């Protein structure tokens, strides 16, 4: 049987890196200077090289191109195969979802910015759609997994954590619902310490931490909904 002479597609790895910054969920993107789509914003990534796994590839590109090494959680998100997604070549794209804790501030190049996910700029290729897929994946997982560990600081009060979840979910979060989903089900544990009140006074607040730093399904039926008005 004759061998096929068809050219294989190029393969790139991309990353939807999300972090809560300035009370909003934001995604890391860089501004393209060259065609195609000069002046538009793109997700960090690059070509999959021979001998690399997909995860090795995206971690390499994140470290080399945008100097992001502090990803607390990284998972494969989706693969896009539309032959028309890149106007210059046949290109597969495998996207990953990465989460950075709120208390870290990665140094990024001048052409790179953290954009609010609800105010995305003009994006290159299908990267805007990929960002929306990553946001949807995160918001779903915040209800039924412990994914918040990758967005929250090491220790926090429940009030701190509620603010992180509200920013990530895009709506207010009931303290009662958060307590039920995370504390009563053993996702969080107390540190044994308390934070002293500020100038406004009040009682010292208990400090918590996530019990595990690895992604776990904690309750497949839990849902964090907006509080009822």
Does 122 lie in the same domain as 92?
yes
| Domain co-membership, 21 together with 128 | yes
CATH number, domain at 134? 3.90.79.10
Tell me if 217 is assigned to some domain.
no
> Using one digit for the tens of pLDDT, what is the confidence trace for 176-217?
888 888 988 899 999 999 988 766 667 899 999 999 999 999
Is 136 in the same domain as 37? yes
- 127 and 26 together in one domain: yes
pLDDT of residue 201: 63
**Confidence check: pLDDT of 175 > 80:** yes
Under a CB-based contact definition with an 8 Å cutoff, are residues 82 and 92 in contact? no
- Residue 82 shares a structural domain with residue 175: no
Task: Please check whether residues 85 and 193 belong to one and the same domain.
Answer: no
- pLDDT (0 to 100) of residue 199: 64
Query: Smallest Cα–Cα separation from 145: which of 211, 218, 194, 202?
Result: 218
pLDDT band at 58 (very low <50, low <70, confident <90, very high): very high
8 A C-beta contact, residue 72 and residue 152: no
Query: What does DSSP say about strands 10-21 and 45-47: parallel, antiparallel, or unpaired?
Result: antiparallel
Structural domain contains residue 226: no
Do 166 and 83 lie in one domain? The reply is no
Residue that is last in its domain, among 88, 108, 143: 143
Read off the pLDDT band of 40 (50, 70, 90): very high
The answer to whether 130 and 123 are in contact (CB under 8 A) is no
Q: Predicted confidence band at 93 (pLDDT cuts at 50, 70, 90)?
A: very high
Query: How much is the pLDDT for 2?
Result: 52
Instruction: For the chain, give the number of residues.
Output: 229
- Identify any residues that bridge with 19 across adjacent strands, giving them in sequence order: 26
Q: Is residue 34 part of a domain?
A: yes
Q: Which CATH number covers residue 161?
A: 1.10.10.10
Among residues 124, 143, 162, the one where a domain terminates is 143
Residues 35 and 97 in one domain: yes
| Same domain, residue pair 71 and 180 | no
**What value does the mean pLDDT take over residues 8-32?**
97
Q: Examine residue 27 and state whether it is found in any structural domain, yes or no.
A: yes
Whether residue 3 is predicted with pLDDT greater than 70 in this model: the reply is: no
What is the domain count for the chain? 2
Q: How far apart are CA 144 and CA 157, in angstroms?
A: 21
Under 8 Å between Cβ of 126 and 41 = no
Assess whether 37 and 139 both reside in one domain: yes
- Last residue of one domain, picked from the residues 98, 122, 143: 143
Residue 221: inside a domain, yes or no?
no
Residue 64 inside a domain? The answer is yes
pTM, two decimals, is 0.94
| Residue 37 placed within a domain | yes
**Within-domain flag for 215:** no
The overall average pLDDT reported for the chain is 93
Contact in structure between 99 and 72 (CB atoms under 8 Å): yes
Between CA 169 and CA 183 the distance in angstroms is 18
Q: What is the pLDDT of residue 177?
A: 87
Range of the domain at 81: 10-143
Question: pLDDT over 70 for what percent of the chain?
Answer: 95
Same domain for 43 and 129?
yes
For residues 81 and 191, state if they share a domain. Answer: no
61 vs 7, residue with greater confidence? 61
Q: Is the pLDDT of residue 16 over 70?
A: yes
């Amino acid at each position: 049987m004759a061998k096929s002479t068809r050219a294989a597609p190029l393969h790139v790895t991309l990353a939807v890196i999300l972090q809560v910054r300035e009370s909003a969920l934001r995604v890391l993107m860089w501004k393209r200077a060259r065609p195609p789509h000069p002046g538009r914003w793109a997700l960090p990534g690059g070509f999959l090289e021979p001998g690399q796994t997909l995860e090795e590839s995206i971690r390499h590109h994140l470290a080399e191109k945008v100097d992001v090494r502090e990803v607390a959680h990284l998972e494969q998100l989706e693969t896009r195969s539309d032959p028309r997604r890149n106007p210059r070549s046949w290109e597969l794209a495998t996207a990953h979802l990465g989460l950075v804790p709120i208390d870290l501030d990665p140094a990024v190049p001048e052409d790179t910015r953290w954009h609010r996910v609800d105010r995305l700029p003009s994006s290159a290729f299908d990267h805007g759609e990929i960002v929306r897929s990553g946001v949807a994946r995160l918001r779903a997982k915040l209800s039924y997994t412990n994914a918040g560990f990758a967005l929250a600081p090491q220790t926090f009060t429940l009030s701190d954590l509620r603010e992180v979840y509200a920013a990530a979910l895009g709506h207010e979060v009931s303290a009662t619902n958060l307590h039920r989903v995370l504390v009563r089900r053993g996702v969080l544990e107390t540190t044994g310490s308390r934070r002293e009140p500020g100038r406004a006074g009040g009682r010292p607040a208990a400090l918590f931490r996530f019990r595990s730093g690895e992604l776990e399904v904690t309750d497949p039926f839990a849902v964090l909904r907006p509080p009822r008005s």
